[in-house]
Amino acid sequence: MTVIGLLHPGEMGAAIGRCLVGAGHTVLWDPAGRGTATASRAASAGLTAAAALPPGDRLTALVRRSDVILSVCPPHAALDVARGVADHGFTGIFTDANAISPATARRVAGLVREGGAIYVDGGIIGPPPEAPGHTRLYLSGAGAGCVRDLFAGTAVDARLAEGQEFAASALKIAYAAWTKGTAALILAVRALARAEGVEQALLAEWAMSQPALEQRSERAAGSAASKGWRWVAEMREIAASMSAAGLPTGFHEAAAEIFRRPPG
C-alpha cells in the first residue's frame, strides 16, 4: 500500500484517485484553495483530505505523508503546483501528468529535484477512467515503472513511453495537437461561415460531401464550451513545443485564440 498525494481532484484527477483507492492505496488531497465541486468529487472518489497539522498547513501534511505525488491540474497551474510541493520539501516521487510541453516538464522536473524529489514524467490520453481500455497514462524517465505499478489491476492503462526522459509529455502534446487543433479549426470554419451568412449553406454542403463534419463541429463546440478555458494554456504549450522542434507555431496559437473566445 502506497500513500499518494493527488493535486488536484478535478474531473480527471478524482477518477484516477478513485482507481488508486480501489487498488488499495491511500490517496490524500489538499482542500486549501479548492472549491466545493472539487471537495465533493474527492469525497465521492474515496480520497482523504490531508489533515491540518499545526503549525503546518495541509500541504505540509500531504507532502510529509505521501510516497508519491501526482499532479493532475490545469496545465497553466503545473509549475505552481510543483513549486509548492518542492517548497514543502517533498523527497518522494513526483509525477506531473498534465498537458505540458517537454520544456515545461523539464522546468517542473528541475523544481522538484531541487527540493530533493525524483521526477517521473506523465501524460494522460483518454477520458476520466471508469472502465479498462479507454484511458492511458504514459510515463517516462527513471522511476516510471514504480508509478506504472501503482495502477496494476485498475481501469488506468499505465504504460512506459519509450524514448527520452520527457517522452510522456511529448506524446501527449503531439496527440492533443491533432485532436484539439482540429477541433479549433472546425470551430473557426463554422464561425467564418456564420460571419459570412453562409452557415446553413455550408451545413447543407457538408451533408452532401462531408457528412461527418456537422456532428464533429457540434461535438467540438460542446467540449470547447466546458473545457476551452483550460485548453488555451494547452494550445500555448503545443505552440511552444512546435517552436522548440523548429515547426510553425501559428496553428496552435490560433487554436488558443479560438478557445479563448466565448463560444459563438
Ligand X SMILES: NC(=O)c1ccc[n+]([C@@H]2O[C@H](COP(=O)([O-])OP(=O)(O)OC[C@H]3O[C@@H](n4cnc5c(N)ncnc54)[C@H](OP(=O)(O)O)[C@@H]3O)[C@@H](O)[C@H]2O)c1
Comparing CB distances to ligand X, the nearer of 38 and 217 is: 38
Q: Does 134 bind ligand X (CB under 6 A)?
A: no
Sheet holding 48-49, edge to edge: 48-49, 26-29, 3-7, 68-71, 93-96, 118-125, 135-140, 156-160
Residue tagged 460531401 (cell numbers): 209
Comparing CB distances to ligand X, the nearer of 127 and 264 is: 127
Comparing CB distances to ligand X, the nearer of 9 and 143 is: 9
Kindly state the smallest distance separating residue 116's Cβ from ligand X, in Å: 22
- Of these, 2, 38, 66, 140, which contacts ligand X (CB under 6 A)? 38
- Give how far Cα 117 sits from Cα of 27, 68, 110, 166, Å: 18, 9, 10, 16
Distinct helix (H) and strand (E) counts, the chain: 10, 8
Using CB under 6 A as the binding rule, the residues of this chain from 196 to 225 that contact ligand X are none
Kindly state the smallest distance separating residue 229's Cβ from ligand X, in Å: 8
- Which residue's CB atom is positioned nearest to ligand X? 10
- Of these, 5, 17, 74, 143, which contacts ligand X (CB under 6 A)? 74
Q: Does 63 bind ligand X (CB under 6 A)?
A: no
- Of these, 49, 52, 77, 146, which contacts ligand X (CB under 6 A)? 77
**The three cell numbers locating residue 42:** 474527492
The whole-angstrom separation of Cα 166 and Cα 197 is 46
Question: Residues binding ligand X: what is the number (CB under 6 A)?
Answer: 23
The whole-angstrom separation of Cα 206 and Cα 199 is 10
Kindly state the smallest distance separating residue 245's Cβ from ligand X, in Å: 20
Q: Does 128 bind ligand X (CB under 6 A)?
A: yes
Kindly state the smallest distance separating residue 8's Cβ from ligand X, in Å: 4
The site map against ligand X for 97-126 (x = CB under 6 A) is -xx------------------------x--
CB atoms within 10 A of CB 145: 11
Comparing CB distances to ligand X, the nearer of 37 and 225 is: 37
Kindly state the smallest distance separating residue 24's Cβ from ligand X, in Å: 23
Which one, of 143, 141, 124, 259, lies nearest residue 191 by Cα?
A: 259
Burial of 48 (0-12, 13-18, 19+ CB in 10 A): middle
- The backbone torsions φ and ψ at residue 253, rounded to the nearest 5 degrees and listed phi first, read -65, -40
- The backbone torsions φ and ψ at residue 56, rounded to the nearest 5 degrees and listed phi first, read -85, 170
Q: Which residues would be at the binding site for ligand X (CB under 6 A)?
A: 8-13, 34-35, 37-38, 72-75, 77, 80-81, 98-99, 124, 127-128, 230
